[in-house]
A = this chain, B = another copy of it.
Amino acid sequence: MTDPAGPRATPTPPTSAAVARRAGVSRATVSYVLNGQAAGRVGEHAQARVRAAAEELGYVPHAAARSLRAGRGSIVLLAAHADTVPVFGPLFTRFLAGFQTALHGLGYTVVLHGAPAASPVAAARAWAELRPAAVLTLHGPPLDAAAVELLHRSGTAAVLTHGPSAPPGAHTLLLDQREAGLRAGEHLLAGGRRRIGVVRPAEPGLAAFAEPRLAGVRAAAAAHPGVRVRPLDLALTEESAARLAADWPRWDLDAVFAYNDEYAMLLMRALQDAGRTIGAGSPDHIAVVGADDLLLARLLRPRLTSVRAEITAPDRIAELVDTLIRAPGTAPATHRLGTFHVQARDSG
């Protein structure tokens, strides 16, 4: 599989000096033309010559060097472990796509950084090596005050975290998971349910979502004397769901908010296989509510009731990031990413 002539050396990338020589202009002129600052400085013909020379040589400006010239970085770094991306669900993935497109339109290069790190500071150091203008942590990598400080000192203008709270110096992008639990709880209570289980996923990395959802159900229940709320541990396996269904008589619950649609589907099937009836129709049936409003969750019978997030338009969040980059002293604040409501179907 190896070239018989042996490995070639990596070619030296063409420099802006080479472009200047070929076009017969100064390096400053090349910089003006290729960074969109030629108007009023460089004539049409010279601009065309510079573009042709850059094309012929295959010259590409270096993002980091361009950042230095422009006085601010052009990289927006989204930090997320690759293995946690699926937990966001399709709604959030669509948001992410729109967010990237909007930032691209504002002149930023968006990179998703998914490497593991031994500590928040180690993670921040790895991100800082790319000299990002902004860092937005999505899920997984934790941030602390020292990590935020390191990012600011190495030139990152804006640090944002997606989560219930941020360390000092960082902005918060909040999709309030507590509200998801609150809406699910209110819905079940309005349907007359009084003994509510709340699934706590056994899978790692989900506690940051699951705990506030549980707290939300508890907050809804607090207004109703005599209502019980009970956490239920469940792993995303058929065995775990079968065990929970077999134990069901011990808890004597008439409803469950199952964290999300996947856990809800799994538990609903296990309860049905154990002879239970699922549904909102009768107080003798078990009411099941999921979250994320997955298409697949409408394929089981009864159709799954689900808590659904309405996420803020991605270009508004992109504009926020741009604003924070341009005004790095803006005091940290909480910016809401969206709200939740219940999509009622037949299961609960």
Contacts and interface: CB of A to CB of B under 8 A. Distances in A.
Interface stretch (A153-161, A176-184, A243-251, A339-347): A153-161
Interface string A1-35: 11101111111111000000000000000000000
9 residue pairs, one from A and one from B, having the closest CB atoms: A8-B329, A58-B153, A83-B97, A7-B329, A112-B112, A63-B129, A111-B111, A3-B331, A7-B327
Interface string A62-85: 111110000010010100011101
A190 interface: no
Interface in A247-298: 262, 265-266, 269, 295-296, 298
Contact of A155 (B11, B65, B128, B329): B11
Contact of A86 (B93, B128, B328, B333): B93
Given A82-B96, A328-B9, A298 B238 contact: yes
A81 B96 CA distance: 10
B86 A100 contact: no
Contacts of A153: 11, 13-14, 57-58
B61 A129 contact: yes
Interface residues of A, number: 79
A327 B2 contact: yes
A330 interface: yes
A125 interface: yes
A63 to B, nearest CB: 4
Copies in the complex: 2
Given A3-B330, A152-B11, A330-B2, A111 B130 contact: yes
A345 to B, nearest CB: 12
A115 interface: yes
Contacts of A81: 97
Given A81-B97, A101-B115, A296 B298 contact: no
A116 interface: yes
A126 interface: yes
A192 interface: no
A81 B90 CA distance: 14
A186 to B, nearest CB: 27
A300 interface: yes
A301 to B, nearest CB: 9
Nearest to A241: B299
Contacts of A48: none
A53 to B, nearest CB: 13
Contacts of A61: 129
A125 B65 CA distance: 15
A296 B97 contact: no
Contacts of A131: 13, 62-64
A222 to B, nearest CB: 31
A242 interface: no
A228 interface: no
A113 interface: yes
29 contacts: A1-B333, A2-B331, A5-B329, A8-B329, A9-B329, A10-B72, A10-B328, A11-B155, A13-B153, A13-B155, A14-B154, A58-B149, A58-B150, A61-B129, A64-B64, A64-B131, A82-B97, A83-B93, A83-B96, A83-B97, A86-B93, A109-B113, A109-B115, A110-B114, A110-B115, A112-B114, A236-B295, A269-B299, A296-B296
